[in-house]
């Protein structure tokens, strides 16, 4: 592998001159610059990012810590983040915790050891260990979607409570009164906020809330499928609010396997607005906001704070959820589902 000294020898200049050309730290003549660039190309020389970062006090690298890479929500979020960072000359290093707090903390240490310029976190639920490490990090940080208890930073998130409320109100406006809910895990404030929105909409409409109509899932399609196996044994339920689109998709799969017609017999609404929801059948009604746009806002906010050296008032950017009506909701009549083992 070629070194900076090899480039200098081929170009007939000192290696400090090569460094100035690469890092643009001092003006050089067009003739010398051309000779150095030709030598770099001929030797296929790749400058050391580590050495450059030590001189410039910047790696132009952003760390992105997400909780589950198999969830399309995080894929779309990462795309928005990467687009903005790429345009600004930054590279994004992505780490997936797979909803494991220990793994999350390990990856955070790895990212900080790589001298990243900033960090974007989509946390895997409440994690006091993560909070402790984040507080010790000496880089600008943005929290996206799921707040981290004990961490004070900029945050970009959708209004989860309002989204749960809007989803349930839509079902109520379709004349449903017996509305079940597939909630997320009780370890995240996201799940709690969406469930509370569901409960408020029911209370305002005078519709019943029954604890047995709420089944906990894990924000995966499999979790939605398993929850549906329990929830849809309640013969009186005519509609379900799934706390994210993946669980809604899992429920739709269960309904199809058991000849439950959606939306004629059962209405289903999700949360997030992932692109996949448009292409399943029936297309999933959902509440949410552009996920990619959330990522763009988060990246833009972080880069702005990096440019300001971490100074400035902390911001909480709360995005308003919107209802997207598709094929999975409508008026319905009660049905009876036989029990399944």
Percent share of the chain, pLDDT over 90:
55
pLDDT of 46 above 50: yes
Residue 55 counted as domain residue: no
Range of the domain at 24: 4-47
Same domain as 274, residue 166: yes
Residue 165 counted as domain residue: yes
Same domain as 229, residue 195: yes
**pLDDT value at residue 248:** 98
**pLDDT value at residue 124:** 60
Residue 52 counted as domain residue: no
Pairing mode, strands 322-324 and 285-288: antiparallel
Q: Which residue would you say has higher pLDDT here, 98 or 332?
A: 98
pLDDT of 50 above 70: no
**pLDDT value at residue 2:** 77
Q: Are 128 and 150 in contact (CB under 8 A)?
A: yes
Same domain as 246, residue 168: yes
Same domain as 188, residue 134: no
Same domain as 153, residue 294: yes
Which structure tokens are listed for 98? 């797979």
Same domain as 149, residue 65: yes
pLDDT of 51 above 80: no
Residue 329 counted as domain residue: no
Mean pLDDT of 182-203: 94
Same domain as 278, residue 169: yes
Residue 92 counted as domain residue: yes
The domain total for the chain is 3
Q: Which residue would you say has higher pLDDT here, 339 or 315?
A: 315
92-136 pLDDT, tens digit each: 999 998 878 778 888 888 888 778 899 999 876 555 566 677 767
Residue 56 counted as domain residue: no
What is the CATH number for 18? 1.10.260.40
**pLDDT value at residue 113:** 79
Least confident segment among 55-64, 108-117, 288-297, 300-309? 55-64
278-296 pLDDT, tens digit each: 999 999 999 998 999 999 9
Can you say how many angstroms the Cα of residue 275 is from the centroid of all Cα atoms in its chain?
Answer: 14
2-20 pLDDT, tens digit each: 788 888 898 899 878 887 8
3-state secondary structure the chain: CCCHHHHHHHHCCCHHHHHHHHHCCCCCCHHHHHHHHHHHHHHCCCCCHHHHHHHHCCCCEEEEEECCCCCHHHHHHHHHHHHHHHHCCCEEEEEECCCCHHHHHHHHHHHHHCCCCEEEECCCCCCHHHHHHHHHCCCCEEEECCCCCCCCCEEEEECHHHHHHHHHHHHHHCCCCCEEEEECCCCCHHHHHHHHHHHHHHHHHCCCCCHHHEEECCCCHHHHHHHHHHHCCCCCCCEEEECCHHHHHHHHHHHHHCCCCCCCCCEEEEEECCHHHHCCCCCCEEEECCHHHHHHHHHHHHHHHHHCCCCCCCCEEEECCEEECCCCCCCCCCCCCCCCC
What's this model's pTM, rounded to 2 decimal places? 0.80
Same domain as 66, residue 98: yes
What is the CATH number for 246? 3.40.50.2300
Same domain as 183, residue 116: no
pLDDT of 171 above 60: yes
Q: What is the mean pLDDT of the chain?
A: 87
Residue 331 counted as domain residue: no
Residue 213 counted as domain residue: yes
Same domain as 145, residue 76: yes
230-247 pLDDT, tens digit each: 999 877 899 999 999 999
Same domain as 128, residue 73: yes
Same domain as 297, residue 153: yes
Q: Are 95 and 110 in contact (CB under 8 A)?
A: yes
């Amino acid at each position: 592998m070629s070194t900076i000294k090899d480039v200098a020898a081929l170009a007939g200049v000192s290696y400090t001159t090569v460094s100035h050309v690469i890092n643009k730290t001092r003006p050089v003549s067009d003739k010398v610059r051309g000779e150095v660039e030709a030598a770099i190309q001929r030797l296929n020389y790749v400058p050391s990012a580590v050495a450059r970062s030590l001189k410039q006090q910047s790696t132009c690298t952003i760390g992105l810590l997400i909780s589950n890479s198999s969830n399309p929500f995080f894929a779309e979020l990462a795309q928005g983040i990467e687009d903005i960072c790429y345009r600004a000359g930054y590279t994004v290093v992505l780490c997936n915790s797979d909803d494991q707090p220990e793994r999350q903390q390990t990856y955070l240490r790895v990212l900080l050891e790589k001298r990243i310029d900033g960090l974007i976190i989509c946390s895997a639920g409440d994690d006091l260990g993560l909070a402790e490490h984040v507080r010790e990090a000496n880089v600008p940080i943005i929290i996206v979607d799921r707040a981290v208890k004990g961490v004070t930073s900029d945050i970009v998130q959708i209004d989860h409570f309002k989204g749960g409320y809007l989803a349930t109100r839509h079902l109520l406006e379709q004349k449903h009164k017996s509305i079940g809910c597939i909630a997320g895990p009780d370890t995240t404030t996201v799940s709690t906020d969406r469930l509370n929105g569901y409960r408020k909409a029911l209370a305002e409409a005078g519709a019943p809330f029954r604890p047995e109509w709420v089944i906990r899932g894990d924000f995966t399609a499999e979790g939605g499928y398993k929850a549906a196996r329990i929830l849809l044994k309640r013969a009186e339920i005519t509609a379900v609010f799934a706390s994210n689109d993946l669980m809604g998709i899992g429920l739709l799969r269960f309904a199809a396997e058991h000849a439950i017609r959606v939306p004629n017999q059962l209405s289903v609404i999700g949360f997030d607005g992932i692109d996949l929801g448009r292409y399943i059948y029936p297309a999933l009604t959902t509440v949410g906001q552009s996920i990619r746009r959330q990522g763009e806002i988060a990246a833009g906010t972080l880069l702005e704070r990096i440019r300001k050296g971490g100074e400035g008032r902390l911001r909480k950017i709360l995005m308003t959820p919107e209802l997207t009506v598709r094929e999975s909701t409508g008026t319905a009549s009660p049905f009876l589902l036989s029990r399944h083992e």
